């Protein structure tokens, strides 16, 4: 079940054939409304990119923080803010990580943060949502839409109220100035311009 559902109703006070669309809010889901902090220890922000035209390289950022405001009755009023520490990138290969942190890619000494700030949230039906905002990498800010699935809510063993979301987005890294590449002898390039970003978020309700 999504954060809310819509239904159409007719009453004796309406003209024949007319219908009004109202919010049918599940009280349990409406109770999720509030401010949340992302639990980095139980969340992941990662990426996948095609390497040498034949396989995928996967990586993640171990250090990130963020906040969410959820509105169970009106998802359009929900917001998100995430800060990712670029130096925490890991692909499992130290030399590759060092290359990513250097001037060919992230130039992490000058630009240590990647940030996302939401500007719009939309319910797509069921548990599906789309949050649109501004992604900043290397001081370049461009719009980004993230498709999310609400994966549930629960109280953990410490009494914390948690919610979960998972989702993804696809970007062209060149749009953010990440343009390094190398040509392959057989044709094509070493690193695809297309990058898939992935989000697996657990957040704890505050207050």
User: Mind listing the pLDDT tens digit for each residue in 48-81?
Assistant: 999 999 999 999 999 999 999 999 888 899 999 9
Mean pLDDT of 77-86: 97
171, 134 Cβ separation under 8 angstroms: no
Cα 14 to Cα 20, 29, 42, 88, 134: the distances in Å are 8, 29, 50, 59, 43
Helices (H), 12-140: 27-30, 94-101
Higher pLDDT, 76 or 15: 76
Q: What is the mean pLDDT of the chain?
A: 89
pLDDT of residue 26: 65
Sorting pLDDT into bands at 50, 70 and 90, what band is 111? very high
Matching residue, tokens 């990513």: 100
CB contact at 8 A, 65 and 38: yes
Residues 66 and 202 sit within 8 Å (Cβ to Cβ): no
User: Which residue has better confidence, 9 or 157?
Assistant: 157
Q: E strands of 4-63, at which residues?
A: 5-9, 20-24, 34-38, 44-51, 55-61
What was the pLDDT predicted at 66? 98
Contact between residue 201 and residue 32 where contact means Cβ atoms under 8 Å apart:
no
Output the CA torsion sign for 138, 144, 147, 150. Answer: positive
- Reported as a pLDDT band with limits 50, 70 and 90, residue 10 is very low
């Amino acid at each position: 079940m999504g954060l809310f559902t819509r239904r159409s109703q007719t009453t004796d006070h309406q003209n024949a054939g007319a219908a009004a669309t109202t919010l049918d809010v599940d009280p349990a889901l409406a109770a999720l409304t509030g401010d949340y902090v992302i639990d980095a220890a139980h969340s992941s922000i990662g990426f996948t990119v095609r390497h040498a035209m034949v396989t995928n390289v996967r990586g993640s950022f171990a250090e990130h923080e963020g906040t969410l405001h959820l509105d169970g009755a009106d998802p359009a009023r929900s917001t998100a803010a995430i800060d990712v520490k670029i130096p925490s990138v890991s692909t499992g290969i130290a030399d590759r990580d060092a290359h990513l942190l250097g001037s060919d890619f992230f130039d992490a000494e000058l630009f240590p943060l990647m940030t996302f700030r939401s500007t719009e949230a939309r319910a797509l039906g069921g548990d599906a949502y789309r949050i649109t905002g501004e992604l900043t990498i290397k001081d370049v800010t461009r719009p980004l839409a993230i498709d999310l699935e609400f994966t549930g809510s629960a109280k953990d063993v410490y009494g914390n109220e948690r919610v979960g979301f998972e989702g993804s987005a696809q970007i062209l890294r060149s749009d953010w100035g990440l343009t390094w590449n190398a040509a392959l002898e057989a044709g094509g390039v070493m690193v695809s311009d297309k990058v898939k970003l992935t989000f697996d978020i657990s957040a704890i309700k505050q207050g």
